[in-house]
Amino acid sequence: MLASTLKARVRSVSREEAGAAGAAMMAAVQQKLYPHMEACAAQWVDPLLGDITAPDACLSEVYDKSFTLYKETREKMRPVWRAMMANRREATHAS
């Protein structure tokens, strides 16, 4: 789904707490345990990468059309949301 939405090949990583690992990687590079992030990633990330998932052109087309419809709906709903907010404000002030 992500590959098709982005129209790019993606790989998942099987690391738990990836955010914490990224912070630890930055600290390791800062402390000169690795010369740069690429070297750190070669040991900390690359071995845990899954297979490449390629985008599905048919799904990409569906997602593109869906996004266009989403944007159109969002714009058309703007006056409705404003009216609902005004109604809510009136109801709050009345009580």
Mean pLDDT split into 10-residue runs, the chain, 95 residues? 97 92 97 98 95 97 96 96 94 82
Q: Are 55 and 4 in contact (CB under 8 A)?
A: yes
What was the pLDDT predicted at 11? 95
Looking at the fold, whether 67 and 51 belong to one and the same domain comes out as no
Q: Which two tokens stand for residue 26?
A: 């930055």
Q: Are 9 and 56 in contact (CB under 8 A)?
A: no
What was the pLDDT predicted at 48? 95
Looking at the fold, whether 73 and 44 belong to one and the same domain comes out as no
Looking at the fold, whether 6 and 48 belong to one and the same domain comes out as yes
d(C-alpha 81, C-alpha 20), whole Å: 39
Looking at the fold, whether 60 and 88 belong to one and the same domain comes out as yes
What was the pLDDT predicted at 33? 98
What was the pLDDT predicted at 47? 95
Quote the number of domains for the chain.
2
What was the pLDDT predicted at 76? 96
Q: Which domain holds residue 81?
A: 56-95
Q: What is the pTM of this model?
A: 0.60
